[in-house]
Amino acid sequence: MIHFDQVSKRYPNGREALAGVAFRIEPGELVFLTGHSGAGKSSILKLIALIERPTRGQVFINHQNTAAIKARSIPEFRRSLGVVFQDHKLLLDRPVADNVALPLIVAGVPRREIEKRMRAALDQVGLLGKERSRPLELSTGEQQRVGIARAIIGKPPLLIADEPTGNLDPDLALEIMQLFKRFNDVGVTVVIASHDVHLIDRLGARRIVLADGHVVG
Amino acid sequence: MPTALNTWLARHAQTLMGSLGRIVQHPVATTMTMAVIALALALPLFFNVLLENSRAATADWNQAFELSVYLAKKAGTERAEALAKQLRARPDVARVRVITADQALAEFRESSGFGKALDLLDTNPLPNALVVTPSLAASTAEGTQALKVHVASLADVDTVELDTEWVQRLNAILDVVRRVIWLTGALLAISVVLVVGNTIRLDILNRRAEIEVMKLVGATDSFARRPFLYSGVWYGLGGGVGAVAVVAVATALLAKPIQRLIGLYGSQFQLSGLRFGTAALILCLSIALGWMGSWIAATRHIRAIEP
């Protein structure tokens, strides 16, 4: 599903976030990227989502070399990917329904189908009935679940999450992680960047440990 | 209708109303933008209305070419009538009026107020005269000129006056004025594009986070740009309606005084306002300008926003 081949990433400010990173993630896997902040977790997720491009090396997603994906094709590519952010990145002036439906709206899916799938996605994260709420009327945990519903509404084969539990207390964090586990159970490849070692231990999934831009475990 | 087209139309209609809703949420800023557009367009439009009216007013004068033909002193009334008859036979002549020396004197006595002074004269100093109106076909600068040359060559004709130079000068002035209005209009049209562009640019910067999120979930640039294009269309439409309203009010305010002014010159002239076609054209133009401004700004700035 994902193959990093000796990937380095140096940012314009000169910081080298990744130095010769190589790993493979098979379809259907649940993988945690761990390490201290600044170890390169976010950079890996940004390279997967084509938010950044590698300085050296190659990134393959679904056997496709991302270097071959032109800027024009990036929107199409991102529709096959679900992304969850630490800060949710919800549109605060829109109701939950619009936030969740956004990936389908931008993809031009007919309205009636959007409505149906939006409810299904909200149901999967346990927020059915909150369609008309504004994000700020929800708790932090609920906001994160709205973000997850938005990530999975397009039924992507690959789901990536950057510190999805970073702002949550342990109980809520576990709940969110179990939600990811459920999607993984039905075949979705899930990659989660997290520094919450205790939580990862409890879930017992594969880990890729990063330190200073290198894979160390 | 195929479903795909239906969906497409529904989505555009939704975006269109969505951008209207959004710009209505900021009534002061929106009104100011529209007012700037309205005033920028109203200025050349209003001058154009005045220009069109001056053209309409002077159109009659263009056709009022008349030749004043003064006969030699020795030519009597019979000779004048004979010349008149001869000229009436020409195809390029519509009418010939004979003004005998006596008639001319009587008229002059009446209109000039020099009655007493004229009584002191022993003889009538005025010659017999003809007023020749060219036919409609000959009422061009060249036609009347040719007629003038012919009439001047006739026996017993002293002088022929063709008083058209001032009309030609007026027309030349109106042409210059029209050119100036077009030029001003073009410059102001560019400023409308810039104003809308700048408004849209600020709008995009304010909604940067939203555009980032949209791009993250797979929105194309053109999808993210669409609501801003529609905002530009709304700004253009609002500005255009404003411009037409401003011009309508201005013409209404001017109609009375202008009518009185022209009335003092003994002419009957009705100030005509904005024609429907012109108003419609202005609306289309201002919508096009709004769209253009937003297109330039949105294309540039949305491409620059990357998550």
| Digit-coded pLDDT (tens) for B239-298 | 999 999 999 999 889 888 888 887 777 666 677 778 888 899 999 999 999 999 999 999
* Residue B91: C-alpha distances to residues B63, B65, B216 (Å): 17, 16, 81
What is d(CA B109, CA B116) in angstroms, rounded to the nearest whole number? 8
Residues of A in contact with B210 (CB under 8 A): 91
Question: Exposed, middle or buried by CB within 10 Å (0-12, 13-18, 19+), for A194?
Answer: buried
What is d(CA A79, CA A20) in angstroms, rounded to the nearest whole number? 28
Residues of B in contact with A106 (CB under 8 A): 214, 217-220, 223
Sheet holding B157-162, edge to edge: B93-99, B129-134, B67-71, B157-162
Whether A106 and B3 lie within 8 Å, measured CB to CB: no
Residues of B in contact with A89 (CB under 8 A): 209, 212-213, 216
Compute the C-alpha angle B58/B62/B68, nearest 5°: 125
Query: Is residue A45 classed as helix, strand or coil in its secondary structure?
Result: helix
Question: Exposed, middle or buried by CB within 10 Å (0-12, 13-18, 19+), for A11?
Answer: exposed
Q: How many CB atoms lie within 10 A of CB A184?
A: 19
Domains in chain A, CATH or no CATH each: 1-80+157-217 (3.40.50.300), 91-155 (no CATH)
Residues of chain B with a CB closer than 8 angstroms to some CB in chain A = 3, 7-8, 10-11, 209-210, 212-220, 223, 306-307
Kindly state the average pLDDT of the residues A188-196: 91
Fill in the DSSP letter of residue B127.
P
Contact criterion met (CB below 8 Å) for A161 and A192: yes
* Domain positions in chain B: 10-61+168-304, 66-163
Whether A89 and B210 lie within 8 Å, measured CB to CB: no
Chain A interface mutation, best of B17, B217, B222, B225, highest count of A Cβ atoms under 10 Å: B217
* Residue A60: C-alpha distances to residues A95, A156, B171 (Å): 36, 17, 74
Give the chain B residue whose CA is nearest to the CA of A114. Answer: B7
For the cut 90, the answer to whether the pLDDT of residue A161 exceeds it is yes
What is d(CA B50, CA B162) in angstroms, rounded to the nearest whole number? 29
Kindly state the average pLDDT of the residues B200-217: 91
Kindly state the average pLDDT of the residues B116-125: 78
Query: Is residue A58 classed as helix, strand or coil in its secondary structure?
Result: strand
Contacts of B145 (CB under 8 A, 6+ apart): B162
Query: Is residue B275 classed as helix, strand or coil in its secondary structure?
Result: coil
Whether B307 and A51 lie within 8 Å, measured CB to CB: yes
Predicted TM-score (pTM) of the model is 0.74
Question: Exposed, middle or buried by CB within 10 Å (0-12, 13-18, 19+), for B5?
Answer: exposed
Q: How many CB atoms lie within 10 A of CB A157?
A: 15
Beta strands in A114-213 (DSSP E): 158-162, 189-193, 206-211
Q: pLDDT digit string (tens) for B8-54?
A: 777 788 788 888 888 888 888 899 999 999 999 999 999 888 888 88
Beta strands in chain B (DSSP E): 67-71, 93-99, 129-134, 157-162
Query: Is residue A189 classed as helix, strand or coil in its secondary structure?
Result: strand
What is d(CA A30, CA A190) in angstroms, rounded to the nearest whole number? 5
CATH topology of domain B66-163: Alpha-Beta Plaits (3.30.70)
Compute the C-alpha angle B160/B166/B172, nearest 5°: 135
ipTM: 0.88
Give the chain A residue whose CA is nearest to the CA of B212. Answer: A89
**Partner-chain residue, chosen from A91, A103, A110, that has the shortest CB–CB distance to B218:** A103
Residues of B in contact with A79 (CB under 8 A): 217-218
Where residue A88 falls (left for φ over 0; alpha for ψ -120 to 50; beta otherwise) is: left
The alpha-carbon gap from B218 to the nearest alpha carbon of chain A, in Å, equals 4
Q: Which of A199-213, B71-85, B143-157, B261-275 has the lowest mean pLDDT?
A: B261-275
Partnered with residue B160 across adjacent β-strands are: B69
Closest alpha carbon to A183 in A161, A163, A166: A161
Q: What is the dihedral of CA B51, B53, B56, B60, to 10 degrees?
A: -100
Q: pLDDT digit string (tens) for A108-133?
A: 888 889 999 999 999 988 999 888 99
pLDDT value of residue B36: 93
- For B41, the token pair is 């367009």
Single-letter code of the amino acid located at A23 = F
Asked if A12 reaches chain B (Cβ–Cβ under 8 Å), the answer is: no
What is d(CA A98, CA A84) in angstroms, rounded to the nearest whole number? 16
For the cut 70, the answer to whether the pLDDT of residue B105 exceeds it is yes
pLDDT value of residue A153: 93
Q: pLDDT digit string (tens) for B60-80?
A: 665 556 788 898 888 888 888
Asked if A103 reaches chain B (Cβ–Cβ under 8 Å), the answer is: yes
- For B115, the token pair is 């009655």
The alpha-carbon gap from A201 to the nearest alpha carbon of chain B, in Å, equals 30
Kindly state the average pLDDT of the residues B151-170: 80
Residue A57 belongs to what H/E stretch?
strand A56-61
Highest mean predicted confidence (pLDDT) among A63-77, A170-184, B230-244: B230-244
Residues of B in contact with A154 (CB under 8 A): 217-218
**Partner-chain residue, chosen from B10, B215, B307, that has the shortest CB–CB distance to A111:** B10
**Partner-chain residue, chosen from B11, B215, B217, that has the shortest CB–CB distance to A108:** B11
**Percent of chain B's residues with pLDDT above 90:** 33
Q: For residue A54, which phi and psi values (nearest 5 degrees)?
A: -70, 150
Whether B213 and A106 lie within 8 Å, measured CB to CB: no
Whether A75 and B216 lie within 8 Å, measured CB to CB: no
Q: What is the mean pLDDT of chain A?
A: 90
For the cut 60, the answer to whether the pLDDT of residue B130 exceeds it is yes
What is d(CA A184, CA A189) in angstroms, rounded to the nearest whole number? 6
Q: Quick one: pLDDT band at residue B95, thresholds 50, 70, 90?
A: confident
For the cut 70, the answer to whether the pLDDT of residue A62 exceeds it is yes
Q: What is the mean pLDDT of chain B?
A: 85
Q: Quick one: pLDDT band at residue A143, thresholds 50, 70, 90?
A: very high
The alpha-carbon gap from B36 to the nearest alpha carbon of chain A, in Å, equals 29
